Copies of this chain bind each other. A is one copy, B any other.
């Protein structure tokens, strides 16, 4: 019907979770927006893709060579929290409960997807630790088989580093979760690592 429409729909449909029907709806929506607004959307996507950098210390997304967290002198440089992705940094920052540093692996060890330890920023983590400031490494990876494998691999790599405490996130029942919907492993963990709340 219209090549311009077809192209816009085809490109939008390449986004994850966007089917042909949603792509068409998004394209039609763009017609109702000002031309300047659509230009702003298009430019911000392209600028993001072309100009974004990865922090040379923590591999987090950054506009500069060093990300704002690594550049922030008020943060606790003795603790580093190792995460899989940038979005995990955002999740943890949103809690406002953590004031240490981060280290973004950029993925997780997955033989199925052909991701080996050398594809991840593990050497960079060891370099950072070698500088001597870090006292605790929090491994905040997912509980999937790949996550556990990665946790195990990094723990082994850190075995030679003396004076470094390696921890992982507490496993237990999430707030708002119902006990009868939690899986056996989670309940077993929660029971084993139960917290004292009174004498």
Contacts and interface: CB of A to CB of B under 8 A. Distances in A.
Contact of A28 (B39, B68, B85): B85
A11 interface: yes
B38 A45 contact: yes
B4 A47 contact: yes
A49 B15 CA distance: 19
A93 interface: yes
A82 B87 CA distance: 47
A95 interface: no
A6 to B, nearest CB: 9
Given A16-B29, A41-B12, A87-B25, A47 B7 contact: yes
- Which DSSP category, helix, strand, loop or mixed, fits chain A's interface? helix
Contacts of A33: 49
Interface in A39-62: 39-52, 60-62
A90 B44 contact: no
Interface residues of A, number: 54
A5 B61 contact: yes
A72 to B, nearest CB: 11
A123 interface: no
Residue in A42, A52, A68 whose Cβ sees the most chain B Cβ within 10 Å: A42
A41 B199 CA distance: 62
Given A7-B44, A12-B41, A43-B42, A30 B2 contact: no
A63 interface: yes
Interface in A16-38: 16-17, 22, 24-31, 33, 35, 37-38
22 contacts: A1-B60, A1-B61, A1-B68, A2-B52, A2-B63, A4-B61, A7-B47, A8-B44, A8-B48, A10-B44, A14-B41, A15-B29, A17-B22, A28-B87, A30-B48, A30-B49, A31-B61, A38-B45, A38-B49, A39-B46, A42-B45, A42-B46
